[in-house]
Amino acid sequence: MELLHLSTFLRRPMFDQAGERIGRVQDLVARMGDDPHPPIVGAVIRIEKRDLFVPIRKIGGLAEGRVTFQGRRVDLRRFERRPGEILLAQDLLARHLINLVRGRLISAHEIELAPIDGRWEVVGVDPRPRRFLRPPGGNDHIVDFASIEPFVAHVPTARLKIPYRKLAKLHPAQIADLVEQASHEEGEEIIEAVKLDRELEADVFEELDTTHQLEFLEDRSDEDAARLIARMEPDSAADLITEIDQERRLPILENLPATQRAKVRNLLSYSADSAGGLMSPDFVAVDEAATVRVALDALRASRAPAPAQAAVFVLDGDGRPVGAATVVQLVRASSDERAAAVAQSPVTHVHPQWDVWQVARKMSDFNLTILPVVADDHGAMVGVVTVDDLLEELLPQGWRKEFGMTAVEE
């Protein structure tokens, strides 16, 4: 398929059928909708300092690069954008666009067009800067427009919205990366789109760096901030609350549901870089008499975060861990067998005041992805540290930016 560049047509003269110049092409207009490749519906032509709309059916010569007017007369009404329409140069060219396949932002340095089944369509975006620096031949760098989503912030009167159903296919960490790559206005647009799924919104917020979390909480009421934080994991919620301005902390805490508020308050009593500060208070546990069937039922009913469900802990009558069974061990065992017989014991553990390096050494020595935290008096189990939370603590602040993870792709 032969591609034509949008830049080929911009500021090109338009001629009538007699060959007389009647104006200059300012932009091409496409209609966003369900089509993977938006159709070109017309052009904005400047005639005597007026921007007029010429429908595509009255335009010829695009394939040859010579734009001709094929109608009888030009509608002299000034151009007004209709709902769902985008101006390719004004709204897309040199703007940020979302590549929904890779979950990254790209810059549209060129828009690619092609005639398909009798109509002109927007088929791709070239993110490489400056056409004269691009290697000749090949379309390997062209991003299919079917995987592209423009920002509404760039198209203020088109009444478009980033579709939640498309963003929801990305991992929350990818969506967070998009927010961190984008401008504040663009980031707000992404956050607004995922608000349709409150759980996804909370997951995305957990993945954001602290600077962006605070930035997007700034304009929210205490009640709205608490609504969002209530859906976050307790350890992530506690980390965020410690960063919020002191005068807002108590009102937000008071607006949390009672159960979440109690968990967060408990976590706030520990240093952030200790096992207590890292741990999740939610985990899966059964008593010593429980069967494998009961342990698997506990897993199915658990609301603990997925990493915290990597093992089921067997507790004695005082709540101390006496064994830990992985999901694989439970699935392979007979359902009537006692979970304690399947579980590995004794259970290695850490205490809430242990620092992050002691936790890391323990997990590394025993090849663990989940580690129980036991009260300082060797009493009851109070939480678990998972390897993902440990890694997040060990990685330097802003590591995504440092390693180019939030750079706009070119």
| Three-class SS of the chain | CCCEEHHHCCCCEEECCCCCEEEEEEEEEEECCCCCCCEEEEEEEEECCEEEEEEHHHEECCCCCCEEECCCCCCCCECCCCCCEEEHHHHHCCCEEEECCCCEEEECCEEEEEEECCEEEEEEEECCCCHHHCCCCCCCCCEEHHHEEECHHHCCCCCCCCCHHHHCCCCHHHHHHHHHHCCHHHHHHHHHHHCCCHHHHHHHHHHCCHHHHHHHHCCCCHHHHHHHHHCCCHHHHHHHHHHCCHHHHHHHHHCCCHHHHHHHHHHHCCCCCEHHHHCECCCCEEECCCEHHHHHHHHHHCCCCHHHHCEEEEECCCCCEEEEEEHHHHHHCCCCCEHHHHCECCCCCECCCCEHHHHHHHHHHCCCCEEEEECCCCCCEEEEEEHHHHHHHHCCCCHHHHCCCCCCEC
Question: Judging by beta carbons within 10 Å of its beta carbon (0-12, 13-18, 19+), is residue 114 exposed, middle or buried?
Answer: middle
CA 277 to CA 267: how far, in whole Å? 6
| Sign, CA torsion 260/199/190/126 | positive
CA 177 to CA 194: how far, in whole Å? 14
Structure tokens at 319: 């709540």
What averages of pLDDT result for each successive group of 10 residues across the chain (410 residues)?
A: 85 89 93 90 92 92 82 83 90 90 90 92 88 55 88 63 83 92 90 91 93 93 96 93 94 96 94 93 96 97 94 96 96 96 93 96 95 93 95 76 58
Q: Decide if 327 contacts 310 (C-beta within 8 A).
A: yes
CA 120 to CA 234: how far, in whole Å? 52
Q: pLDDT value at position 137?
A: 54
pLDDT tens digits for range 359-370: 999 999 999 999
State the Cα angle at 124 between 7 and 192, rounded to 5°.
105
Q: pLDDT value at position 225?
A: 96
Nearest of 351, 336, 345 to residue 314 by alpha carbon: 345
Model pTM above 0.85? no
Structure tokens at 61: 């010569």
CA 194 to CA 175: how far, in whole Å? 9
State the Cα angle at 138 between 134 and 139, rounded to 5°.
85
Q: pLDDT value at position 377?
A: 87
Question: Judging by beta carbons within 10 Å of its beta carbon (0-12, 13-18, 19+), is residue 201 exposed, middle or buried?
Answer: buried
Q: Decide if 81 contacts 87 (C-beta within 8 A).
A: yes
Structure tokens at 97: 């666009």
pLDDT tens digits for range 164-215: 888 888 999 999 999 998 989 899 989 988 988 999 999 999 999 999 999 9
Q: What domains sit in the chain, N to C, each tagged with a CATH number?
A: 1-150 (no CATH), 209-269 (no CATH), 278-388 (3.10.580.10)
